[in-house]
Amino acid sequence: MAVTIIATVGSASANSYVTLAEAQTILASRTDAADFLAEAVDVQRAHLIEAAEWLQRRSWKGTRVDATQRLALPRRWLRKPDDPLGTYFDDAAIPESVKQAQCELALGFFEQDDLEAVGGDAIASFTAGRVSVQYEQGGGRVSSRYLTRTLQLLRGLLLAAQVERA
Protein backbone atom coordinates (compact mmCIF):
# COMPACT_ATOMS: atom_id res chain seq x y z
CA MET A 1 0.00 0.00 0.00
CA ALA A 2 1.32 3.43 -0.93
CA VAL A 3 2.20 5.83 1.87
CA THR A 4 0.72 9.29 1.40
CA ILE A 5 2.00 12.49 2.94
CA ILE A 6 -0.56 15.17 3.71
CA ALA A 7 1.29 18.39 4.48
CA THR A 8 -1.57 20.86 4.12
CA VAL A 9 -0.95 23.46 6.82
CA GLY A 10 -3.65 23.35 9.49
CA SER A 11 -5.47 20.39 7.95
CA ALA A 12 -7.50 18.02 10.10
CA SER A 13 -5.87 15.13 8.21
CA ALA A 14 -2.26 16.38 7.97
CA ASN A 15 0.40 13.83 8.86
CA SER A 16 3.53 15.81 8.01
CA TYR A 17 4.95 19.32 8.28
CA VAL A 18 6.97 18.87 5.10
CA THR A 19 6.20 17.47 1.64
CA LEU A 20 8.39 14.76 0.15
CA ALA A 21 9.73 17.27 -2.40
CA GLU A 22 10.62 19.75 0.36
CA ALA A 23 12.34 17.02 2.38
CA GLN A 24 14.34 15.87 -0.62
CA THR A 25 15.44 19.48 -1.26
CA ILE A 26 16.38 20.02 2.39
CA LEU A 27 18.42 16.79 2.47
CA ALA A 28 19.93 17.03 -1.05
CA SER A 29 23.10 18.79 0.09
CA ARG A 30 23.74 16.38 2.97
CA THR A 31 26.34 13.69 2.36
CA ASP A 32 24.83 11.51 5.09
CA ALA A 33 21.43 11.53 3.34
CA ALA A 34 22.45 9.81 0.10
CA ASP A 35 21.15 6.37 1.13
CA PHE A 36 17.88 7.85 2.40
CA LEU A 37 17.35 9.77 -0.84
CA ALA A 38 18.14 6.65 -2.90
CA GLU A 39 15.52 4.64 -0.98
CA ALA A 40 12.01 4.03 -2.33
CA VAL A 41 9.73 7.04 -1.90
CA ASP A 42 7.30 5.06 0.27
CA VAL A 43 10.13 4.37 2.72
CA GLN A 44 11.08 8.05 2.72
CA ARG A 45 7.45 9.05 3.29
CA ALA A 46 7.03 6.52 6.11
CA HIS A 47 10.06 7.90 7.97
CA LEU A 48 8.89 11.49 7.45
CA ILE A 49 5.48 10.60 8.92
CA GLU A 50 7.17 8.79 11.84
CA ALA A 51 9.23 11.93 12.48
CA ALA A 52 6.12 14.15 12.37
CA GLU A 53 4.47 11.90 14.96
CA TRP A 54 7.51 12.28 17.24
CA LEU A 55 7.29 16.08 16.85
CA GLN A 56 3.56 15.89 17.54
CA ARG A 57 4.27 14.52 21.03
CA ARG A 58 6.30 17.60 22.06
CA SER A 59 4.88 20.49 24.12
CA TRP A 60 5.07 23.59 21.96
CA LYS A 61 4.98 27.25 22.89
CA GLY A 62 2.06 29.29 21.60
CA THR A 63 -1.43 27.99 20.89
CA ARG A 64 -2.96 26.00 18.05
CA VAL A 65 -4.40 28.14 15.27
CA ASP A 66 -7.45 25.90 14.85
CA ALA A 67 -8.94 23.33 17.20
CA THR A 68 -9.51 20.97 14.25
CA GLN A 69 -5.91 20.88 13.00
CA ARG A 70 -4.39 17.45 13.48
CA LEU A 71 -0.77 18.47 14.03
CA ALA A 72 0.58 20.77 16.74
CA LEU A 73 1.61 23.44 14.23
CA PRO A 74 0.83 26.01 12.93
CA ARG A 75 0.64 28.02 16.16
CA ARG A 76 -0.26 31.51 17.23
CA TRP A 77 2.07 33.46 19.51
CA LEU A 78 5.10 31.36 18.56
CA ARG A 79 8.04 33.76 18.84
CA LYS A 80 11.04 33.60 16.52
CA PRO A 81 13.76 32.60 19.00
CA ASP A 82 16.61 34.51 17.32
CA ASP A 83 14.70 37.70 16.57
CA PRO A 84 15.79 40.51 18.92
CA LEU A 85 12.49 42.29 18.24
CA GLY A 86 10.48 39.32 19.48
CA THR A 87 8.35 38.92 16.36
CA TYR A 88 6.15 35.90 15.84
CA PHE A 89 6.16 33.22 13.15
CA ASP A 90 3.42 33.45 10.55
CA ASP A 91 0.52 31.45 11.99
CA ALA A 92 -0.44 30.27 8.50
CA ALA A 93 2.88 28.54 7.86
CA ILE A 94 5.26 25.99 9.35
CA PRO A 95 8.62 27.42 10.49
CA GLU A 96 11.51 26.25 8.32
CA SER A 97 13.37 24.99 11.40
CA VAL A 98 10.47 22.60 12.15
CA LYS A 99 10.62 21.24 8.60
CA GLN A 100 14.38 20.78 8.96
CA ALA A 101 13.89 19.05 12.32
CA GLN A 102 11.39 16.64 10.79
CA CYS A 103 13.87 15.79 8.02
CA GLU A 104 16.65 15.32 10.58
CA LEU A 105 14.53 12.89 12.58
CA ALA A 106 13.42 11.00 9.46
CA LEU A 107 17.07 10.55 8.53
CA GLY A 108 17.79 9.28 12.04
CA PHE A 109 14.87 6.82 11.95
CA PHE A 110 16.05 5.59 8.53
CA GLU A 111 19.62 5.14 9.74
CA GLN A 112 18.45 3.19 12.79
CA ASP A 113 16.28 0.90 10.65
CA ASP A 114 19.25 0.37 8.34
CA LEU A 115 21.42 -0.54 11.34
CA GLU A 116 18.80 -2.95 12.67
CA ALA A 117 18.48 -4.57 9.23
CA VAL A 118 22.08 -5.79 9.52
CA GLY A 119 21.63 -6.92 13.12
CA GLY A 120 23.10 -3.92 14.89
CA ASP A 121 22.09 -2.07 18.00
CA ALA A 122 22.81 1.47 19.08
CA ILE A 123 26.22 1.83 20.71
CA ALA A 124 25.85 2.66 24.42
CA SER A 125 29.58 3.14 25.09
CA PHE A 126 32.95 2.68 23.41
CA THR A 127 36.44 2.40 24.92
CA ALA A 128 39.60 2.56 22.82
CA GLY A 129 42.23 1.03 25.16
CA ARG A 130 41.74 -2.76 25.15
CA VAL A 131 38.70 -2.16 22.91
CA SER A 132 35.34 -2.38 24.65
CA VAL A 133 32.04 -1.76 22.87
CA GLN A 134 28.69 -1.97 24.64
CA TYR A 135 25.39 -1.91 22.79
CA GLU A 136 21.98 -0.73 23.92
CA GLN A 137 19.44 -3.49 23.84
CA GLY A 138 16.19 -2.18 22.43
CA GLY A 139 17.55 1.30 23.01
CA GLY A 140 16.55 4.53 21.39
CA ARG A 141 15.25 4.75 17.87
CA VAL A 142 17.45 7.65 16.79
CA SER A 143 21.14 8.13 17.36
CA SER A 144 22.03 10.98 19.66
CA ARG A 145 23.58 13.02 16.84
CA TYR A 146 20.23 13.27 15.03
CA LEU A 147 18.31 13.90 18.24
CA THR A 148 20.78 16.59 19.33
CA ARG A 149 20.54 18.33 15.96
CA THR A 150 16.72 18.09 16.06
CA LEU A 151 16.55 19.69 19.49
CA GLN A 152 18.93 22.43 18.35
CA LEU A 153 16.61 23.20 15.44
CA LEU A 154 13.64 23.38 17.83
CA ARG A 155 15.42 25.57 20.40
CA GLY A 156 13.06 28.23 21.66
CA LEU A 157 9.95 26.61 20.17
CA LEU A 158 9.28 23.99 22.85
CA LEU A 159 7.94 24.73 26.32
CA ALA A 160 10.82 22.96 28.05
CA ALA A 161 13.98 21.15 27.13
CA GLN A 162 12.47 17.83 26.18
CA VAL A 163 15.27 15.36 25.90
CA GLU A 164 13.82 11.95 25.23
CA ARG A 165 14.93 8.97 23.26
CA ALA A 166 13.12 8.91 19.95
pTM: 0.81
Q: List per-residue pLDDT tens for the chain, 166 residues long.
A: 688 999 999 999 999 999 999 999 999 999 999 999 999 999 999 999 999 999 999 999 999 999 999 999 999 999 999 999 999 999 999 999 999 999 999 999 998 875 444 334 444 554 544 454 454 554 445 667 888 899 999 999 999 755 444 4
Backbone angles phi, psi at 130, to 5 degrees: 65, 20
Write the DSSP string, 19-51.
Answer: -HHHHHHHHTT-GGGHHHHHS-HHHHHHHHHHH
Instruction: Look up residue 37 and give its amino acid.
Output: L
Cis peptide before 74 (omega within 30 of 0): yes
